Chain A
Amino acid sequence: MIQNDTIEQASYEIMKQAAIDIPADYLSGIKSVAEKESEQLSGFVIKTMVKNYEAATEDRRPMCADTGLPRYYVKVGDDARFEGGFTGIERAMRSATARATMDVPLRPNRVHPLWRTEHNNNVGINAPEVEWSFEPDADWIDITTVHKGGLFGTDYRMLFPGDGIDGIKRFLLDTLISFGKRGLCCQPAIVGVGLGGSKDTCMQLGKQAACLRIVGDRNPDPKIADLELELAQIGNGIGMGPMGFVGSSMVVDLHIEVGHTHTGGMPISVHTFCLSSRRATARIHASGEIEYRTDPKWFTPYHRRETVAWEDK
């Protein structure tokens, strides 16, 4: 039986790790982008960012003061047993968010959209967001937190099947150029593209593709994997680097996630994560032991299943 306190402790710890420690995959990704960068200003920005990661880890202070909108992705194994029920997990994650906001500290960004009132703890109506998924043949709970800025770098559009790959490329260019200017989307970043689903699913898939897959990970569909690489190259070919300066560093990696969609449409969303790519995951085992990592492993084969019944091959 997993105790509620253990869930709270794990959620608190990943809030801290996400805010402070750059994930290893992103760090090596940005270093390889930097090696190809020949422009002086763009190169200076990336070098400064790498120094910033080092300072954050040394001082145990947040990489970026805009700690975004802290949120959770939870994957619960079929055989996981935990006290307090699902609302207990949600309560623990809210408590961890409030504590981490005070202790790390995180910026208390969350305010009421109309009255601009706040609780100074990043907790409120529908905040933090919690997305749930499930996993067969597992007795653990995975909790991932993502701290992503909330203002720039995301767009959605309803395309149609006839718009084809051209439509996808145009929309990617539109989004990266419009938010890349002056670096509003804090590039170079991991870019997520959501394709299909209903409109809200399309937005979710793109966000998850940006935030929950690591640099170097490829979609299991080989044709989609090829498209990921092609689109990443298009992004880096815009001629824009960090802060919108002339350069070649726009996309550290690009991930595509798909969902079966309406026969008449091909909705698309594009999301850019940021220069700090803040994510951290805890796996809480049935024994109560907690393991920490930076790869959320969100898109499992079960998660991407397309049949009625599920059989692991």
Chain B
Amino acid sequence: MLEEVSVDLPATPESISALKLGSIVYLNGIVYTAREGVYERILTRGGQLPEGLTRASNVNFHCSPAAALQQDGQYHIGGVTATASFRFSKYLADWLDLTNTKIVIGKGGMPTDDYKNILAPRGAVYLTTVGYGTGALLGRGVVGVEAVHWLDELGIAQALWMFRVKDFGPFLVDSDLQGNSLFAQQGELVNKKIESLYEGLKQPALHRYGETHDRKDELM
């Protein structure tokens, strides 16, 4: 059976170092969302972080909620789902340094080099959402909106949301403090069979760039 753990937030160094690849994780406390809109605003254009963010939370969720502002001024959070994290590599080192974030949550993990060079040296790990469509289960885990920043400027999908969460999950541990990656390990196992899948299938007449990396090549 896969191990199941519950982590109180902000996460302590001890609770993070105890996370093992492939463990199932549930979170309690405050997580914040930030993706390219927020990264660009703060890191590229030199904006200020919201007051109190780094004290309240050290968990960055690559997420855009399905949310709507109700007439009573409260936010209706329906589903909550992660977006693919690999696109945010270039921001991550600066972002972790600035915010002291220790857990990054998203879809699909990040390259192993990012774990080895960026996350692990900063005492941070990566959790992946499960299946990627568990919007309803994760939505249930959001018990309140603590704050939302730059909603007008960035829109619902890109705004920085601070969610109060309870039994928020499940997530799977993708990286540990040694920089190992569950996705990479699983990918290597899958790769062992890939060559044999193509055995006996003839090549198409017209090739594509990507099959050759030299743009001076003809594709016929």
A residues at B contact (CB < 8 Å): 19, 40-41, 44-46, 48-49, 51-53, 55-56, 59, 61-67, 101-109, 111, 118, 120, 151-152, 157-160, 162-164, 166-167, 169-171, 173, 177, 181-184, 186, 234, 237-240, 242-246, 274-276
Q: Are A61 and B139 in contact (CB under 8 A)?
A: yes
Partner of A118, one of B63, B64, B155, B190: B155
Q: Are B186 and A64 in contact (CB under 8 A)?
A: no
Q: Are B133 and A40 in contact (CB under 8 A)?
A: no
CB proximity of B73 to chain A, nearest CB, Å: 15
CB proximity of B27 to chain A, nearest CB, Å: 16
> Is B130's beta carbon under 8 Å from chain A?
yes
Q: Are B2 and A44 in contact (CB under 8 A)?
A: yes
A202 to B213, CA, bound (A): 27
* Cβ contacts A to B, 10 pairs, < 8 Å: A49-B130, A52-B133, A66-B81, A104-B78, A163-B204, A166-B201, A170-B204, A177-B197, A186-B132, A245-B186
**Residue on A nearest B186 in the bound complex, by CB:** A245
Summed over the interface, the residue pairs from A and B with CB atoms below 8 Å come to a total of 184
CB proximity of A76 to chain B, nearest CB, Å: 31
Q: Are B135 and A243 in contact (CB under 8 A)?
A: no
Q: Are B65 and A107 in contact (CB under 8 A)?
A: yes
A118 to B153, CA, bound (A): 11
Mark interface residues in B35-46 (1 if CB within 8 Å of A CB, else 0): 000000000000
We find that the number of chain B residues with CB closer than 8 angstroms to chain A is 53
Q: Given A64-B133, A65-B64, do A167 and B204 touch, yes or no (CB 8 Å)?
A: yes
Main secondary structure, interface of B, reads: mixed
CB proximity of A119 to chain B, nearest CB, Å: 10
Chain A residues positioned under 8 Å from B197 (CB to CB): 173, 177, 234, 237-238
Chain A residues positioned under 8 Å from B52 (CB to CB): none
A230 to B202, CA, bound (A): 17
> Is B128's beta carbon under 8 Å from chain A?
yes
A242 to B186, CA, bound (A): 11
List which B177-195 residues lie within 8 A (CB) of chain A: 183, 186-187, 189-190, 193-194
Chain B residues positioned under 8 Å from A163 (CB to CB): 202, 204-205
Mark interface residues in B203-220 (1 if CB within 8 Å of A CB, else 0): 111101000000000000
Q: Are B156 and A61 in contact (CB under 8 A)?
A: no
